[in-house]
Amino acid sequence: MALNNNRLKRVLMGTGALALAGLLSPAALATDAQEIIRDRCLACHTESSDAANSTFSRISDQRKTPEGWHMTLNRMEHLRDAKISAQEKRELIKYLSDTQGLAPEEAAPFRYLLEQDTNLVESGVDENLMQMCARCHSAARFGLQRRTLDEWQMLVDFHMAQFPGIELHAGSRDRPWYQLAHNETSAQLSEQYPLDTPEWNNWSKAKKVDLKGRWRVTGYVPGKGEFSAWMTAATDDDGRYNLKLEGNYADGAVIEGSGKATVYTGYEWRGTLTIDSVKMRQVMAADKDGQVMAGRMFLAMEDEIGGELRAVKDTGKAQVVAVMPSYLKAGESAELVIVGQNLDGDIDLGDGVRIDEVIARSKDRIVVTATATGTPAVNDVQVGSADSTVALAVFDQVARVDVTPTNAVTRIGGNGGEMEKVRATYRAIGYSAGADGEAGTDDDVRLGYMPASWSIEPVDEVAEHDKDHLYAGEITPAGMFIPGDAGPNPERKMSANNVGRLNVVATVDDGDSKVEGRGSMLVSVPDFVERVLD
């Protein structure tokens, strides 16, 4: 499968600000950054100083993520015509997100947006904020910001001035939208997302752990599969990390790449690597001890195409970090790859799992064939005295299959036009029924990602009548959905576009039976506005 889509412009336009920002010493960075603000921003913003520090109007009373600051600076350039060089912009993003960023706990509920993992329906959004705010863009866009009441109000005023139609939409015209937004919604936001929080107070004072070193990395690349690798992060002169990544996909094929990373706010890892000659980005959050990072890696040119990514620091300790696959059917044999570091000693996959052969073994990767002789159970994977939280699920039956993403949007494109198709990749997750023997209940046991065959079907009679499944696109055997061509289609009623509402169906073979799972897919028209954060 071709991993590259031609959405080149996004990359060509990019200055690579987030992964490429250099870090001078913090003190030098602070003076430099404040000088940049004085030079570049004070034509419109103002500075007030007291003995201790300087504050800048509209800038000092808000906190946001590196991407959030990036977006604001882009608007200052595009709409306000601020002049700022690419290098100055990187330094400002770094400085602002270090000194006015989000604490790990504050960003945690919304990491999907930072990870560009947007094929999902946001959950738990307050109904009022949903109606007033999360109608045009995600709720995470503001959930990832902290402001004073004044600053929330000025944000509302900016919206009103920039998008006057905001009062006329359904959901606005039934109420005095602006008054409500300015008075009540802003107050609600300043309570829910205030500038000063104990979390930020603690985090901004906490000692940050240097993330240089050797990391045991596991992840997934669509079309290639699961992989395990070593990634070394070495400090460069400019304070960034030079990255080298080397390892294997589950089938043994080599994965290799190198690149750069910058860490923001002490824990926000942003990497850009060229892996197997494709440019990819990493967005991860480090835990407080700087021992584990988790997030996502995706194509720089097509951020919908990616997979989860996890990195565990090599501290010299023995540790099991993954087993691939994470399940074994009772009564059957299979090849399993145990991934870890500094592994020594006996391999133990639990009672009722017999190791037939060790096919390959090193300190960080062990390949075995094993047979499940016992009954269904969730077993610890152990190697000598290594730390392990990794489990192997022995199961008798796949009772349920979930399709991920459960909800997705793809977009028509191509056909000679400027807009590229927006694709989506799918995976199937198998579950056994658990103790109650009933699928779809809380005690279902997650077995892990399973190979599946893929198909699409219309979502209902209307979609079937409009032949959405014939026009809107197709899915490859590897589970990549490719939407239809852009443009009016004379074959369709009213020359409709090749849009459609589909189910994506995964069929998993489990012995003699087949188990199906479904996800909803909306094939839609292009999104002409690509912002740093949806």
11 binds another protein (CB under 8 A): yes
CA-based end-to-end distance of the chain: 27
Q: Which of 14, 58, 87, 348 binds ligand HEC (CB under 6 A)?
A: 58
Interacting residues of 12 by C-beta distance below 8 A, sequence separation 6+? none
Radius of gyration of the chain (CA): 25
107 binds another protein (CB under 8 A): no
3-state secondary structure of 5: coil
Is-cis flag, bond preceding 325, omega within 30?
Answer: yes
Query: What's the closest the beta carbon of residue 505 comes to another protein, in angstroms?
Result: 14
Q: Which of 24, 120, 125, 154 binds ligand HEC (CB under 6 A)?
A: 154
Q: Which of 105, 122, 276, 402 binds another protein (CB under 8 A)?
A: 122
Query: What's the closest the beta carbon of residue 161 comes to ligand HEC, in angstroms?
Result: 8
Determine the residue type at 194: P
280 binds another protein (CB under 8 A): no
What number of other Cβ atoms are within 10 A of residue 285's Cβ?
Answer: 18
Q: Which stretch binds ligand HEC (CB under 6 A): 43-51, 114-122, 349-357, 436-444?
A: 43-51
Backbone angles phi, psi at 235, to 5 degrees: -70, 130
Question: Quick one: what does residue 58 bind among another protein, ligand HEC, none, with the CB cut-off 5 to 8 Å set by partner type?
Answer: ligand HEC
Q: How many CA atoms lie within 13 A of 84 on its CB side?
A: 31
**139 contacts 123 by C-beta, under 8 angstroms:** no
Rounded distance, CA 232 to CA 250, Å? Answer: 20
Site track for another protein across 414-453, x = CB under 8 A: -xxxxx----------------------------------
- Name the residue nearer to another protein (CB basis): 94 or 313: 94
DSSP assignment of 183-225 = IIIHHHHHHHSBS--HHHHHHHHSPPPP--EEEEEEEEETTTE
Q: Provide the phi-psi class of 499: left if phi over 0, else alpha when psi is between -120 and 50, else beta.
A: beta
Q: Which stretch binds another protein (CB under 8 A): 35-43, 115-123, 207-215, 220-228?
A: 115-123
408 binds another protein (CB under 8 A): yes
**3 contacts 223 by C-beta, under 8 angstroms:** yes
Residues of span 110-139 touching ligand HEC by CB under 6 A: 132-133, 135-137
Q: Which stretch binds another protein (CB under 8 A): 177-185, 237-245, 368-376, 458-466?
A: 458-466
Query: What's the closest the beta carbon of residue 339 comes to another protein, in angstroms?
Result: 30
Alpha-carbon distances, residue 474 vs 314, 507, 519, 521 (angstroms): 43, 16, 14, 11
Question: Quick one: what does residue 406 bind among ligand HEC, another protein, none, with the CB cut-off 5 to 8 Å set by partner type?
Answer: another protein
**What are the strands, taking DSSP E only, across 236-363?**
241-249, 254-264, 268-275, 278-286, 292-299, 302-313, 319-324, 327-329, 333-341, 347-348, 353-361
Q: Which of 9, 10, 38, 80 binds ligand HEC (CB under 6 A)?
A: 80
Residues of span 352-381 touching another protein by CB under 8 A: none
Residues of span 56-75 touching another protein by CB under 8 A: 70-71, 74
293 binds ligand HEC (CB under 6 A): no
Query: What's the closest the beta carbon of residue 97 comes to another protein, in angstroms?
Result: 15
Q: Which stretch binds another protein (CB under 8 A): 40-48, 132-140, 333-341, 436-444?
A: 132-140
Using CB under 6 A, list all residues that contact ligand HEC: 37, 40-41, 43-45, 58-59, 68, 71-73, 75-76, 79-82, 84, 92, 132-133, 135-137, 141-142, 145, 151, 154-156, 158-159, 163, 166, 181, 185, 189
